[in-house]
Structure 1
Amino acid sequence: MELFLLVIFYFFISIVLIQTVYYLFIFGKFSFGKIEKNTPKHIPVSVIVCAKNEEKNIQKYLPLLINQNYHNFEIVIIDDASSDDTRDLIENFQIQHPNLIKLVKVENNEAFWGNKKFALTLGIKAASKEYLLFTDADCYPNSDNWIAEMTSHFTLHKTFVLGYGAYEKEPGFLNKLIRFETLLTAVQYFSWAKIGRPYMGVGRNLAYKKEEFFNVNGFIHHMKLRSGDDDLFINEAAKGHKTTISANPEGFTYSKAKETFGDWIMQKRRHVSTAKHYKSFDKLQLGLFFLSQLLFFILPIPLLAFQFQWIIIVSLIAFRYLITWLSLGYSASKLEEKDVMYWYPILELILILIQINVFIKNIFSKPYTWK
């Protein structure tokens, strides 16, 4: 028994070291780095919005895009075969702003039914500007300078900009859990992008040069997959020397979080289902991070139960929480999510359990389409 506990003891030390590397030396690239604030460039931009049965959100949020403090842009709205009044509403806005709004009409197509990538491809082809900025119909910019902030990070060599797609703060534990998961995900993809290994972005707030889409033939390599128009595309097309991030609050977008656990779990299932199609290195680093999180909670149980080197174990646990709280705390401050850190230990544990549940469910059934 003592030999068994000794093996677990050294294994636990290794897990804490792995977590330290992630939170200090990888995530620390974003957590402890400076937020870049660049001068607006006013380069030609097509803002692309894909909408399916979004009449209420179009009514509320399209004016916020129309009134952006930017001079050289168009809004390409893709109506993906909506069955409500989405198309009529967009056409009314188009009449009022004929030189600003471009409507792309997508009809039901048996081969591409329910495939957002097909609709986005038509929208991208219809875009007349050199740079593309993406958001969703249920999202809204945090400021009138959203376009200016996101596009200010483009340079001659930087042709991908990863932004932050936040969720509105609402009462309730589920909202905190969703925002914590969104925070942790952003810290990961921001940090790896700063290291030079971009692996994903979010379609709620993402920009790239139009030619980059055609350089990889768009979504052709994963068109059959219902999800992944953002993360799988970035995983395939974005290179380290071409990718940068926008973490200035003026460049954030917001949307309403899911209101039930069931809806959120289904959303997570769709997101997780794309991860198995990432590059091998990205699957490895994501898997190692999750496994080290899980084992951090499991391994101390037998050691503390038998009081094996318990002072060292407790010290290692305290050390790990210190560095994670510092790393995530600085990131939460930058991304205006500080309130979730008060619940951090509980949120982290519950999120791990939910991720296990999602992985198991995805083994036995596939999540459905985006709308």
Structure 2
Amino acid sequence: MKSVDGGYVPYTKEPYGVSVIVYAKNDAEHLGVYLPQILTQNYPNFEVIVVNDGSTDETRDIVTRLESEYDNLYQTYIPDEARSLSRKKLALTVGIKASKYDIVILTNANCSPAGKNWLSYMMRNFVEGVDIVAGYAYMDGAGQKKRRYVAYDRLMFVLRYVSYILLRKTYMAEGYNLAYRKYLFFKNKGFSRHLNLHYGDDDLFINEVATSDNTRVELSPESWMVVHYENNFKAWQELKLRYDFTSGYLNSNSKIMFGLERLTVYLFYVSVIVLFVYGFYCNLFFSGIALLLWLLRFIVQVIVYRRTAKRLSSNRLFFLLPIFDFMQTFVNVYYKIVGAYSRNKNFTWKTR
């Protein structure tokens, strides 16, 4: 983002008011632990609105108790009769309409900020001209250690959309840790273009409203959100299917680029294997060239991936990297097939 004189505008020191919208559905246990961490942020001007999506557990009681302790906490509800709409989109819309500040930050009840300055780091990006700030969120470490491929796939997924934000070609963001200006939401009629879909409250909306100049990403460690699931592998599967479904509605050249990237990976492996086999039978020099090419690519992979994993607190891999790299396309194809047989459940209603 540039100032009037053409210089880069790093951050603002203005403590703009912000409304934190927390989506909750049967999240009493999470709210009891993680909501106080949001309510006690080192930020002078914020409110927290918990939107209760028809919870049948003690969610309401937990929030009511916390309301008596924190003056800036409020709660609202989704009517039970709202069955033919995307309930999460309706919940977020209700929360945004109820908010009193011009900037909202969206998150879920199973998310906890990495530090007391989460809000400060996210809000510092709202200089003139910036309407969207995408934060980073990752699944808690226990699940990453047990499911190394989950950690690898999630990191590659995040790396792709974050890279495009940094390149000023934003095509999506995730709703675990996402901030934007209210006027942007209402100017574009909220989620109205995709009300027939259960999903897309984060990626599809940002895909519609992001420009080359109005979006930033915040990656400082204290700005992170940690996402807690009882079963990280199952959660990853659901996310995989959800984002695979909504990706078909994204308007972006990124899909072509990612497809080409996967194609070049397989062309590389096929070429190396063919060259190695040819050299083994005809001239070992060519086998050596094949091994050297593979080794160079492996070294580059290790450097890039491990630096990124260290920066974003993910599982650092080594010898598993080429295996995961090779199998990723097969995994993606598998989930595309699974998703194709369950597409109907992603619609609130079908359009022609």
Q: Tell me the TM-score normalised to structure 1 length.
A: 0.82
Q: Does 1:314 align with 2:287?
A: no
Q: 1:191 to 1:68 in 2, by over 3 A?
A: same
Q: 1:340 to 1:234 in 2, by over 3 A?
A: farther
Q: Which residue of 2 aligns with 1:57?
A: 30
Structure with bigger helix share is: 1
Secondary structure class of the residue paired with 2:68 = helix
Q: Which residue of 2 aligns with 1:29?
A: none
Q: Which residue of 2 aligns with 1:252?
A: 224
Q: Which residue of 1 aligns with 2:68?
A: 95
Deviation readout 1:263-283 (Å, 9 max, x if unpaired): 532331112111011114132
In the alignment, the residues of structure 2 paired with residue 134 and residue 171 of structure 1 have an alpha-carbon distance, to the nearest angstrom, of 23
Identity of aligned residues (%): 29
Q: Tell me the TM-score normalised to structure 2 length.
A: 0.87
Large movers: runs of 4+ above 4 Å: 36-40, 171-174, 260-263, 367-370
- Unaligned 5+ segments in structure 2 are 1-8, 348-352
Q: Does 1:160 align with 2:140?
A: no
Q: Does 1:150 align with 2:122?
A: yes
Secondary structure class of the residue paired with 2:141 = coil
Q: 1:171 to 1:366 in 2, by over 3 A?
A: closer
Q: Does 1:176 align with 2:148?
A: yes
Q: Does 1:346 align with 2:319?
A: no
Q: Which residue of 2 aligns with 1:363?
A: 340
Deviation readout 1:107-156 (Å, 9 max, x if unpaired): 22344355311111111111111111111110100000000011111110
In the alignment, the residues of structure 2 paired with residue 286 and residue 339 of structure 1 have an alpha-carbon distance, to the nearest angstrom, of 23
In the alignment, the residues of structure 2 paired with residue 129 and residue 206 of structure 1 have an alpha-carbon distance, to the nearest angstrom, of 15
Q: Does 1:337 align with 2:309?
A: no
More moved, 171-180 vs 54-63: 171-180
Residue 84 of structure 1, CA deviation: 1.3
Residue 167 of structure 1, CA deviation: 1.5
Output the amino acid matched with 1:192.
Y
More moved, 269-278 vs 173-182: 173-182
**Match among 311, 323, 337 for residue 300 of structure 2:** 323
**Match among 229, 240, 256 for residue 284 of structure 1:** 256
Output the amino acid matched with 2:14.
K
Q: Which residue of 1 aligns with 2:198?
A: 226
Q: Which residue of 1 aligns with 2:46?
A: 73
More moved, 233-242 vs 349-358: 349-358
Q: 1:261 to 1:338 in 2, by over 3 A?
A: closer
Deviation readout 1:71-106 (Å, 9 max, x if unpaired): 100001100111111122212212222x30121111
Secondary structure class of the residue paired with 1:317 = helix
Tell me if the contact between 2:172 and 2:203 (Cα under 8 Å) persists in the aligned partners: yes
In the alignment, the residues of structure 1 paired with residue 146 and residue 229 of structure 2 have an alpha-carbon distance, to the nearest angstrom, of 9
Tell me if the contact between 2:11 and 2:126 (Cα under 8 Å) persists in the aligned partners: no
In the alignment, the residues of structure 2 paired with residue 171 and residue 120 of structure 1 have an alpha-carbon distance, to the nearest angstrom, of 28
Where do 1:83-232 residues align within 5 Å?
83-97=56-70, 99-113=71-85, 115-170=87-142, 174-232=146-204
In the alignment, the residues of structure 1 paired with residue 259 and residue 341 of structure 2 have an alpha-carbon distance, to the nearest angstrom, of 20
Q: 1:367 to 1:333 in 2, by over 3 A?
A: farther
Higher relative contact order (CA closer than 8 Å, sequence separation 6+): 1
Q: 1:302 to 1:365 in 2, by over 3 A?
A: farther
Residue 320 of structure 1, CA deviation: 2.1
In the alignment, the residues of structure 1 paired with residue 214 and residue 296 of structure 2 have an alpha-carbon distance, to the nearest angstrom, of 36
Tell me if the contact between 1:174 and 1:259 (Cα under 8 Å) persists in the aligned partners: no
Q: 1:169 to 1:280 in 2, by over 3 A?
A: closer
In the alignment, the residues of structure 1 paired with residue 189 and residue 266 of structure 2 have an alpha-carbon distance, to the nearest angstrom, of 38
- Unaligned 5+ segments in structure 1 are 1-35
In the alignment, the residues of structure 2 paired with residue 246 and residue 341 of structure 1 have an alpha-carbon distance, to the nearest angstrom, of 27
Secondary structure class of the residue paired with 2:213 = helix
Q: Which residue of 2 aligns with 1:16?
A: none
In the alignment, the residues of structure 1 paired with residue 321 and residue 239 of structure 2 have an alpha-carbon distance, to the nearest angstrom, of 22
In the alignment, the residues of structure 2 paired with residue 253 and residue 237 of structure 1 have an alpha-carbon distance, to the nearest angstrom, of 23
